[in-house]
Amino acid sequence: MSFLKNLKKKFSMGDDFDVPEEESYVEVSTDSEMPKSKIVLRPFVLEDFADIKPVLDSLREGYTIALINIKPLKDKDMLELKRAINKLKKTCDAIEGDIAGFGEDWVAVVPSFAMIHRERPGAPQPPEKETPKGWSDEDEEAELR
């Protein structure tokens, strides 16, 4: 008697059910197309407030890093530019991304998996390790030994 029939006899409560004699397998096709997530660095140009919609749509997809040229809209209408930037900021907060301007005419917006490095020109650098007056590097090394 097979193992499954023995198991059936021990646990059955008088109900009759069929236990397959042979194991059956299901074939799974490996040819199916799996969607690949690729990060897209995409440039945009804002010439009008309406040009913000494709930027927001691509950011909401989650895999787009947007580089936005704001110069045409800045030259045309500063109020519309402020509206567009506020809309970008709100969307960026919603997707937990990051937004930063670089140069006078560009804005970068990244999704949550990325971060924009910020380094201000002319910002003070962290101080280097100071050695006490009268000490040299050789004295310090000798003291550590």
Domains present along the chain, CATH in parentheses: 36-112 (3.30.110.150)
Residue 24: per-residue pLDDT: 67
For residue 105, which of 120, 79, 85, 83 has the smallest C-alpha distance? Answer: 85
- Res. 145: pLDDT tops 60: no
Higher per-residue pLDDT: 135 or 72: 72
Residue with tokens 């440039």: 43
Residue 72: per-residue pLDDT: 96
Tens of pLDDT, residue by residue over 61-111, are 989 999 999 999 999 999 999 999 999 999 999 999 999 998 899 999 999
Helix 78-94 vs helix 52-61: crossing angle, to nearest 10: 10
Using pLDDT thresholds of 50, 70 and 90, give the confidence band for residue 37.
confident
Higher per-residue pLDDT: 119 or 45: 45
Residue 4: per-residue pLDDT: 67
Q: For residues 67 and 44, is the Cβ–Cβ distance under 8 A?
A: yes
Q: What mean pLDDT value characterizes the chain?
A: 79
For residue 108, which of 143, 69, 62, 61 has the smallest C-alpha distance? Answer: 69
State residue 102 phi and psi, 5-degree precision. Answer: -140, 135
User: What are the residue ranges of helices labelled H in the chain?
Assistant: 3-11, 52-61, 71-76, 78-94, 137-144
Instruction: Decide: pTM greater than 0.75.
Output: no
Residue 94: per-residue pLDDT: 94
Q: How many CB atoms lie within 10 A of CB 58?
A: 18
